Structure 1
Amino acid sequence: MAAITQFPAAFEICKPFMLTDQQMQEIVVRLNKEINMGLGRDTHARAVVKCYITHVHDLPSGNERGRFLALDLGGTNFRVLLVTLSSDSDVDILSKSYVMDKSLLVGPGRALFDFIAECLSNFCKEQNIDKEEMPLGFTFSFPVQQIGLDKGILTSWTKGFKCEGVIGKNVVELLQHAIERRGDVKIKIVAILNDTTGTLVSCAYKQRNCRIGLIVGTGSNACYMERTGNTEMYEGYQTSNKPNMIVNTEWGAFGDNGVLDFVRTSYDKRIDQESINPHKQTFEKCISGMYMGELVRLIIVDLMEQGAIFKNLKSQSIYEKWRFETSFISEIESDEPGHHRNCANILDQLGIRGATDNDMQCVQAICETISTRSAKLVSCGLVCLINKMNAKDCAIGIDGGVYRFHPKYHDLLVDNMTKLLRGSAKFELLLSEDGSGRGAALIASVAASRKK
């Protein structure tokens, strides 16, 4: 792949995205400070990295058994799963995905939960479990303040959602009421969790030293095992006999108070202003799949207007906001060196035909710049959490389309984390096997057994 330095105009635009080692070390320090503020009772209210307690103290033992429903809501698609835990290594999962109309994402909250309840009901009937009493683990991948294992207050919508009447409400209660309004299935929501928590728990089921759960997909977030004595927002933090608790950092909001402005670019600020949640989820907007493609598009458009790329070629599509999908980055970076088949196909979809090899090499280099910065920022976050736990040997469970499908993201994380840690800790990155489903079922199993 061509280096961005071969393209002077592109290099000038992309230079602010190239994080130095010193900047990365400073990001680790600043995130650690924000996390401590989120954990502290006296500082939590003004903290932007909220570090919500999850009430999940225990990781799986391997002895979990039974059949459980799981619901995974975190984007425009959601899934219903029937998970059977029958032995340490035998987990059977039946699942079905449902697509939500975009109107549900911004309409009344009641309509959203009624639709989910309808899909739950249909799934149970298809699996012939509509007459059984089924415990359900609810993976709800939005910022939630948990006040119990089965009580979660939505603090803000992200990822394009903006449903009325939900912020400040217990989302478990809203969904349970929607289920009960139908009255045709016997489902009890016994636990609510974030997708990061599900990822951590799912990976810990097989890898006992897993202590961090990470999502790098449409959005980005991470959770980790914190000492219970440090979780001051937990009422029993001083007297609990449980040594640890999973903390949901909600690190997507890191920088909302300006502490990341020293590495944000003019393009990051443009995307923020044009998003449906300006001045929110600053870190996430520099990292995640919802925004990476748009960053590439904005850079390409500016280069076209300078006459530095695609000379004499016209395209209306490239001027459409959000038209350059983040999946295009993964495809373009999957091209073999010296070949541009994927890049040419994508440009063709965008109405750009007849691009030169030099043009396509430039596009590849821009994509590489954006994905490298994303991985560097995530590496800073993970190293911060490893240092926070003082972990010497730590597995990290990871899910999300950016990590799963980008051909170089794993290696970028390994290289940058190794550089930042300087030999102070060993780590292993694990691709999660359906963390949102399996993890929700495992936590539902623990919750159901507690209730019994």
Structure 2
Amino acid sequence: MKERELKKNNGLDAGLRALHDIFTVTGPQMLDIAEKFYEAMLAGLAGQKGPLKMLPSFLSVPTGKECGVFLSVDFGGTNVRVSLIELRGNGRITVIKKISTPLKEPGRYDYTSSAATGRELFGFLAEQIAGLVRPGENIPLGHTFSFPTEMRSLNQAVLIGWTKEFKTGMTEGRDITLLLREALQRQGLHGIRPVAVINDTVGTLLAAAYGDPHADIGSICGTGHNTCYLEPRPPHHNGPVIINIESGNFDMLPLNDFDRQLDRHSEKPGEQVLEKMVSGRYLGELMRLAVLDLVQKGCLFQKNSGNITGFPFKNNSLGAEHMSLMLGDGSDGLTGTAAWLKEHAGMRDPLPVELSALKTIASLLTTRAARLAAATYAGVLRRLDPFLKLPHTIAVDGSLYEKTPGFASHLRLALDEILRERAGQVTVKPAKDGSGMGAAIAAAIAAASEEML
């Protein structure tokens, strides 16, 4: 028995070493990614075809003096958040009311599916807004819409295509603000005026810049992944403009067989390549594929394999939240991880080395995601300030950054490794609920522009 376990452990050790090698992003690789990302940014700004769309937001950063009460709609995942927000100047923000509602409930409705229409989806959003305001109120509204759009003005955004798990019909190619305005009219909310539509990365940057004059990069590291920045010399615009990079689509990256397998079976093969390597939407499935490979090689869970009903044999049975559980499990014997395996996979007695292996694999994937994201930030910083003569703040929002143990620290370490002696010029800080706050700030900027006309 001991001999068999020793062989299994030796096989597991070799399997983990192989995974370490293929999921490790080296320092030179990060520098190479940063350079390629920078070049792709330049190509996108010049209007050339490439992985980075470089979409203008028609907004610069706020002055910090914007004041008033505004509505915010934050729509980027399977929950929509609607808030009534007061801006008080000098970076002070008060949330007066807030509701969060899922866009799908099994057996009741699913506004993310192809069976639903854009009219139905935005009608649902208008119903949520109606729950926060009194009849007859006149309030400007900012809308964070976290999907690739073609921005034609601050208040006109056409959906290019859904990402994540969204498939809502009769929406792609449509003007998002028009869909929302029509829904508000049908709801009788004639005084609620959608005045700005932005991406969640833009919202994150706006929220940070409201109180930090050095904030010039905003990023989402959550269910999805994207980055924006304040472009100092935008083509066809007078003065600095926030550019939504749509960085999740970047594809000049060191892929491995697990990445390729995930991509082949994804909703849109060949698209959102970086997002599939760094975002919460996909990290769990990547880990499942890596674990399944070890199981099939006889390195993991052999004595339990006949009883396993879920993870790792069932597609999408592991999420980023489960990886966070494993990474944060500091108990003796990793009892939290063992309990999860028993509940979700029918594994009664996993070996301690097997539990440790799961934590190791989760750490490998989380570290790689952080280092890939950091490399793209370095590419943006090169565009902003090649010699890092000035201070810069990168504002990051999202569950991966906020809740996944190790992600934020590995991101910081990776930036330090890339930027070396100039790393002190760059601050990375959380911007919790930044996309929602940013929508209110965008509405304030837009409303002030209306008054000047």
The verdict on a shared fold, with TM-score over 0.5 as the criterion, is: yes
Q: Structure 1 residues 164 and 15, CA, compared in 2 at 3 Å: closer, same or farther?
A: same
Contact 1:5 1:11 in 2 (8 A): no
> Quick check: 1:397 aligned with 2:395?
yes
Instruction: List per-residue Cα deviations over 1:264-303 (Å, max 9, x = no partner).
Output: 1111111112211221101100000000011111111221
Cα shift at 1:14: 4.3
Task: Give secondary structure in 2 for the equivalent of 1:146.
Answer: strand
Distance in 2, Cα, partners of 1:349 & 1:284? 29
Task: Judge which range, 281-290 or 19-28, deviates more.
Answer: 19-28
2:173 equivalent in structure 1: 168
Measure, in 2, the Cα distance between the counterparts of 1:154 and 1:370: 31
Comparing 177-186 with 390-399, which one deviates more in the overlay?
177-186
What is the CA–CA distance in structure 2 between the aligned matches of 1:375 and 1:225, rounded to whole Å? 22
Return closer, same or farther for 1:116/1:210 CA change in 2, 3 Å cut-off. same
State the match for 1:421 in structure 2.
Answer: 419
Equivalent in the alignment of 1:246: 242
Does residue 272 (structure 1) correspond to residue 271 (structure 2)? The answer is no
Number of equivalenced pairs: 427
1:85 is matched with 87
Pick closer, same or farther for the CA change 1:80–1:5 going to 2, 3 Å.
Answer: farther
C-alpha distance in 2, partners of 1:204/1:345? 43
- Within a 5 Å distance, the mapping from 1:140-289 to structure 2 comes to 140-227=145-232, 229=233, 231-232=234-235, 234=236, 237=237, 240=238, 242=239, 244-255=240-251, 259-260=252-253, 263-289=254-280
> Could you tell me how far 1:24 is from its partner in structure 2?
1.5
After TM superposition, the structure 1 = structure 2 runs for residues 5-404 of structure 1, keeping only pairs within 5 Å, are 7-41=13-47, 43=48, 46-57=49-60, 59-93=61-95, 94-101=97-104, 103-106=110-113, 107-124=116-133, 129-227=134-232, 229=233, 231-232=234-235, 234=236, 237=237, 240=238, 242=239, 244-255=240-251, 259-260=252-253, 263-313=254-304, 314-318=307-311, 319-336=313-330, 339-350=333-344, 351-390=346-385, 391=388, 392-404=390-402
Structure 2: any 5+ residue segments left out of the alignment? 1-9
SS in structure 2 at match of 1:61:
coil
Aligned counterparts of 2:374 and 2:11: Cα–Cα separation in 1: 24
User: Do the aligned residues in 1 keep the contact of 2:12 with 2:294 (CA within 8 Å)?
Assistant: no
**What is the deviation of 1:353?**
1.8
Q: Aligned to 1:135, what secondary structure does the other structure show?
A: strand
User: Hey, what's the Cα distance between the residues in 2 that align with 1:89 and 1:53?
Assistant: 24
Instruction: Confirm or deny: 8 A CA contact 1:251 1:283 kept in the other structure.
Output: yes
Cα distance in structure 2, aligned partners of 1:291 and 1:389: 30
Which position in structure 2 is the counterpart of 1:442?
441
Deviation at 1:11, TM superposition (A): 2.3
TM-score, reference length from structure 1: 0.91
Instruction: Sort the Cα spacing of 1:89 and 1:171 in 2 relative to 1 into closer, same or farther, 3 A.
Output: closer
Counterpart-to-counterpart distance in 1, 2:30 and 2:93: 40
- How far apart, in 1, do the equivalents of 2:368 and 2:303 lie? 31
Shift of 1:161: 0.7
Quick one: which amino acid aligns to residue 351 of structure 2?
A: T
Moved over 3 A (4+): none
The structural deviation recorded for 1:130 is 2.8
> Equivalents in 2 of 1:266, 1:439: separation in Å?
38
Q: 1:419 to 1:6 in 2, by over 3 A?
A: farther
Cα distance in 2 for partners of 1:157, 1:168 equals: 10
Native 8 Å contact 1:331 1:343 kept in 2: yes
**Residues 83 and 437 in structure 1, CA contact (< 8 A), matched pair in contact too:** no
Q: Classify 1:337/1:115 alpha carbon distance in 2 versus 1 (closer, same or farther; 3 Å).
A: closer
How far apart in 2 are the matches of 1:178 and 1:396? 35
Residues 353-362 or 335-344, more deviating: 335-344
AA aligned opposite 2:42: N
Identity percentage over the alignment? 30
CA-to-aligned-CA distance 1:200-227 (integer Å, 9 cap, x gap): 1111112210110010000000001111
Whole-angstrom distance in 2 between the partners of 1:207 and 1:62: 8
Give the match for residue 6 of structure 2. Answer: none
Paired residues of 1:121 and 1:185 also in contact (CA < 8 A): no
Query: Displacement, 1:47?
Result: 2.1
Contact 2:70 2:444 in 1 (8 A): yes
Unpaired runs of at least 5, structure 1: none
Inter-partner Cα distance in structure 1 for 2:438 and 2:333: 41
Q: What residue identity is the alignment partner of 2:94? A: D
Q: Is the 8 A contact 1:214 1:222 kept in 2?
A: yes
**CA distances 1:237-256 after superposition (whole Å, capped 9, x unpaired):** 3xx2x2x111100001111x
Q: Is the 8 A contact 2:12 2:299 kept in 1?
A: no
- In 1, are the aligned partners of 2:401 and 2:408 still within 8 Å (CA)? yes
The more displaced of 110-119 and 353-362 is: 110-119
